[in-house]
Amino acid sequence: MDEPNLPEGNVNVASLNGTQASLLGFLHEGPRTGWELLQEISSGLGRFWNVTQSHAYRELKALEEKELIVAGKPGPRDRRPFSLTAKGRKAFAQWIQEEPGPEQLRFPLLVSLWFGEYLPPDRLARFVDSQCRIRQERLAQYRKAQDSPRWASEHPRRRAVLQFGIRYEEAILRWLEEIEGTTKRKRPSRTRVRRDTEDGR
């Protein structure tokens, strides 16, 4: 397999975090203000790659200090468009060749389930019901986006990212249905479990 053509010279890719790299990626499509970047992220990749407003502006400042982007003249509402520098293109080209790391799953409901014995069953059941509603809303949003004219003309790779979101939410909803009964059953106390074990000897 042929090696990809990379710009000559090296950039310290280790100092480039995922958020910074994604911002560089979006800027390949042309100059963007911080606000425009946030709008573009939230309408696409932001469904699976969380970037808050404060985080985005902090990373844009860091990229500017590293001379990977350059700010233009302020426009309406004093918003400055950011553009890639040659060094920024080089940094992104090297970063995108790196093997992606494992996903970092943070699902608060799993912690509630793990320590569910310390919760009243009806309260834990409400947590599960709430997650069902949230997942159904997200799934509806993804399906609506999938049917929109914009996504119909998107590159298949980008449509695959949206398809991942649909499959993920469908899987979570199936799992929530499977565990619904376990959240409504009261778990015996540790004392009772220990006594039952001793009686069975």
| pTM beyond cutoff 0.75 | no
CB 41 within 8 A of CB 26: yes
- Confidence (pLDDT) at 2: 44
Q: Are 80 and 198 in contact (CB under 8 A)?
A: no
What is the arithmetic mean of pLDDT over 97-114? Answer: 90
Helix, strand or coil for residue 198? helix
Please report the pLDDT score of residue 149 as a whole number. Answer: 86
Asked whether residue 200 carries a pLDDT value surpassing 60, the answer given is: no
- Residue among 91, 103, 94, 101 nearest 24 (CA): 91
Instruction: For 6-66, give the secondary structure using H, E and C.
Output: CCCCCCCHHHCCHHHHHHHHHHCCCCEEHHHHHHHHHCCHHHCCCCCHHHHHHHHHHHHHC
Question: With 70 as the cut, is the pLDDT of residue 168 above it?
Answer: yes
pLDDT in tens, 140-156: 988 988 888 888 888 89
If one looks up domain 13-95 in CATH, what number appears? Answer: 1.10.10.10
The rounded distance, in Å, linking the Cα atoms of 89 and 199 is 70
Among the ranges given (22-36, 39-53, 54-68, 86-100), the one the predictor scored with the smallest mean pLDDT: 39-53
pLDDT of 194 > 60? The answer is no
Structural domain boundaries of the chain?
A: 13-95, 108-194
Please, which pLDDT band fits residue 10 given cuts at 50, 70 and 90? low
Instruction: Tell me the longest C-alpha to C-alpha distance in the chain.
Output: 80
